[in-house]
Amino acid sequence: MKIYTKTGDAGQTSLVGGQRVSKCCQRLESYGTVDELNSHIGVLMSELSDQQDVDMLLDVQRTLFVLGGYLATDTTEREVRPGNVITPEMVAVLEAEIDRLQALLPPLRLFILPGGTHAAAEAHVCRTVCRRAEREMLRLAEEAEVDATALAYVNRLSDYLFVLARKANMDAGVEDIIWKRQK
């Protein structure tokens, strides 16, 4: 199988189902940002020492791949494949993991700045890319149907990545960087 097809040289690509669209369209912005997030999560995984966290992120990567397939499908032209659906159970898994990690962490009383360990800093990068993916999906929702559960998943994922950043610092014995008002 060739990696290059030359069919996108003029600025168009195909969605699931074969429809040709501009590489600048909102649907591509949405699933392209999800793909970018997935790549950053791969970097984050390489920085973590807790295998349970790595395993959770591998599940997240798999779910983001499902989400990308969903977003790459124009549902007015083609039915979404059964495996490309974000379920309420996927959201519940994230919520349970957020609760588990928060129980390990000291209470958050002040705003924190991104940073600390490299793993925590990368988790914050993932969080911000995740927030952008959510905004891109919301922009897409202004012109096409976007499943509410998929939006909830991405919203919850950014919360998970925030908590994971704090845990990465805690695991390394590094304190979160507390925001203080400049004088």
Question: What's the pLDDT tens digit per position in 98-127?
Answer: 999 999 999 988 899 999 999 999 999 999
Please say whether the beta carbons of 165 and 114 come within 8 A: yes
pLDDT at 3: 77
Q: Is residue 72 predicted with pLDDT exceeding 80?
A: yes
Query: Which pLDDT tens digit goes with each residue over 154-182?
Result: 999 999 999 999 999 999 999 999 998 87
| pLDDT over 90, % of the chain | 72
Q: Where are the domains of the chain?
A: 16-173
**CATH number for the domain whose boundaries are 16-173:** 1.20.1200.10
Cβ atoms 70, 83 nearer than 8 A: no
- What is the rounded distance in angstroms from the CA atom of residue 167 to the CA atom of residue 102? 8
pLDDT of residue 20: 66
Q: What would the mean pLDDT of 18-45 be, rounded to a whole number?
A: 86
Q: What does the alpha-carbon distance between residue 25 and residue 34 come to, in Å, rounded to a whole number? A: 15
C-alpha count within 13 angstroms, C-beta hemisphere, residue 30: 28
The whole-number pLDDT of residue 23 equals 59
Global confidence as pTM: 0.90
